[in-house]
Amino acid sequence: MSKINVPAEQQRLDSRHADLLVLGGTLLTPNGAERTDVACLNGRIVALGALASTWTAVDILDATGLHVLPGVIDSQVHFREPGLTHKETLEAGTRGAVLGGVTGIFEMPNTHPLTLAPEDLQDKLDRARGRAWCDHAFYIGGSAVNAELLPQLETLPGCAGVKVFMGSSFGDLLADEDAVLRNILRNGRRRLAVHAEDEARLKARKALVEGSADVTQHTVWRDVHSALLATQRILRLADEAGRKLHVLHVSTAEEMALLARHKRRVTVEVTPHHLSLCAPECYQRLGTLAQMNPPVREQRHQDALWQAIAQGVVDVVGSDHAPHTLTEKAQPYPQSPSGMTGVQTLLPMLLDHVHARRLSLQRLVDLTSAGPARIFGIVGKGRIALGYDADLTLVDLAAQRTISNDWIASVSGWTPYDGVTVTGWPVHTVVRGQPVVRDEALVGQPTGQPIEFLDAQASN
């Protein structure tokens, strides 16, 4: 009688032996919050339930008193590599990500060189191999020079999709003409991510702040109408082309009211800084450290963003982590560059909003895990379920911590939240079944892998 060969993985599964057991935590699963255990084997979730007495493991994480979230996905970061590594690197950026509880990131194309061609994407994937602490994907820039190639480019392994800058960019990455935008929109199927500010209006209004050295005027230069004009225009052009959109870092009440009427085809991102900082106070306190594009605006706009979260208009929260050095930020406004760190503080700031009852924990999970997976068609991520990647973010909802510049891993070394005390904190971070942060400290080696996406025609 011939012997049947059973694969080693199946033997281990049958013997109830895992690589990692996470025991005693409150899991945020598709079924809600459940006090239960999770077993991880070969990077995936293989069992849920009361496992402590029936399973063994190479490693065990005691999650007693902690909430176990699906790994947080930050779908908008600028890690500046290649070309701008004096501000940030893939290693430091992803190190900050996992210290902040983030297990996956989408990185933007405005590096040097710009990410416009297959070789640009491959260079970033090569740079990330063995250096990235979390899983990762990279956007291709949508441009006049590559529009006809976008159907092929957007389906390359490791590509998060296509990103279009209607304003606030440079060279071939700036797409501010209708003819160029139409050509980009009709080439490809995946959801198109857009930075919507009207470049012509921004250029015309810059004279209002030239020589002012007054960063409180940032909202005057980059006013509400600059954002609304661009959002109206891209919605109209996308409707013509029948293309799905993802509008990034929405900052105005007017845009939210407009976008609420286009939800069948359009998804919406907001950022922690637009939810947490408010003009003019943040500029008076932080100066150019609060300078972002689009700007942090007045209270009525922040109120509208929170209302849009409550009403389901907002689909994801991304950090828009975009660091500059303190020396660069110290230049007089408006020569000072726009951008701040954010990937490491995304989850702590949102957990503090959970503590303040502005946000439910289940809604946080949807905005940072399930939402990104759903709208971008990510394979095997975004929920705690059998067969999914074992990406887990373990948080202590009662822990109080004071955010400091010393904690920030970014090459730039600062955060606008320096000195801010929050309630709720990431304690352990698990990427594909491997703890990379344990008891708030980095452990192991960077083993992040490219994120996989569904076939473009199957994406939502």
Q: What is the CATH number of the domain that holds 61?
A: 2.30.40.10
Number of domains in the chain: 2
Query: 194 and 59, same structural domain?
Result: no
Query: 62 and 76, same structural domain?
Result: no
Helix/strand/coil for 240: helix
Query: 25 and 87, same structural domain?
Result: no
Query: 171 and 56, same structural domain?
Result: no
Q: Is there a domain that residue 198 lies in?
A: yes
Query: 231 and 88, same structural domain?
Result: yes
Which of 223, 320, 352, 391 is an active site residue? 320
Other C-beta atoms within 10 Å of 393: how many?
Answer: 29
Q: Is there a domain that residue 447 lies in?
A: no
292-328 pLDDT, tens digit each: 999 999 999 999 999 999 999 999 999 999 999 999 9
Q: What is the CATH number of the domain that holds 197?
A: 3.20.20.140
Query: 153 and 83, same structural domain?
Result: yes
Q: Is there a domain that residue 364 lies in?
A: yes
Query: 324 and 372, same structural domain?
Result: yes
Query: 233 and 305, same structural domain?
Result: yes
**69, 395 in Cβ contact below 8 A?**
yes
Q: What is the pLDDT along the chain (460 residues), one digit of tens a residue?
A: 444 455 666 666 778 999 999 999 999 998 999 999 999 999 999 999 999 999 999 999 999 999 999 999 999 999 999 999 999 999 999 999 999 999 999 999 999 999 999 999 999 999 999 999 999 999 999 999 999 999 999 999 999 999 999 987 778 888 889 999 999 999 999 999 999 999 999 999 999 999 999 999 999 999 999 999 999 999 999 999 999 999 999 999 999 999 999 999 999 999 999 999 999 999 999 999 999 999 999 999 999 999 999 999 999 999 999 999 999 999 999 999 999 999 999 999 999 999 999 999 999 999 999 999 999 999 999 999 999 999 999 999 999 999 999 999 999 999 999 999 999 999 999 999 999 999 999 999 999 999 999 964 334 4
Burial 202-226 (b: 16+ CB within 10 A, else e): beebeeebeeeeebbbbbebbbbeb
Q: Is the peptide bond before 450 cis (omega within 30 degrees of 0)?
A: no
Q: In this predicted structure, what is the pLDDT of residue 381?
A: 98
Residues 6+ positions from 333 with CB-CB distance below 8 Å: 209, 212, 213, 214, 215, 217, 218, 288, 291
Query: 200 and 82, same structural domain?
Result: yes
Adjacent-strand bridge partners of 316: 269
**80, 109 in Cβ contact below 8 A?**
no
Query: 260 and 189, same structural domain?
Result: yes
In angstroms, the CA 269 to CA 1 distance is 61
Q: Is 352 a catalytic residue?
A: no
Q: Is there a domain that residue 282 lies in?
A: yes
Q: Is there a domain that residue 371 lies in?
A: yes
Task: Give me 58's structure tokens.
Answer: 């190479």
Q: In this predicted structure, what is the pLDDT of residue 168?
A: 77
187-230 pLDDT, tens digit each: 999 999 999 999 999 999 999 999 999 999 999 999 999 999 99
Residue 332 structural domain? 70-378
Please choose, from the candidates 273, 342, 275, the residue with its C-alpha nearest in 3D space to the C-alpha of residue 75: 342
Q: Is there a domain that residue 335 lies in?
A: yes
Residue 159 to residues 138, 268, 400, Cα–Cα distance (Å): 5, 20, 37
Q: Is there a domain that residue 55 lies in?
A: yes
Q: Is there a domain that residue 385 lies in?
A: no
Please choose, from the candidates 368, 383, 432, 459, the residue with its C-alpha nearest in 3D space to the C-alpha of residue 75: 368
Query: 123 and 51, same structural domain?
Result: no
Query: 144 and 78, same structural domain?
Result: yes
Residue 181 to residues 194, 264, 377, Cα–Cα distance (Å): 11, 21, 23
In angstroms, the CA 98 to CA 193 distance is 24
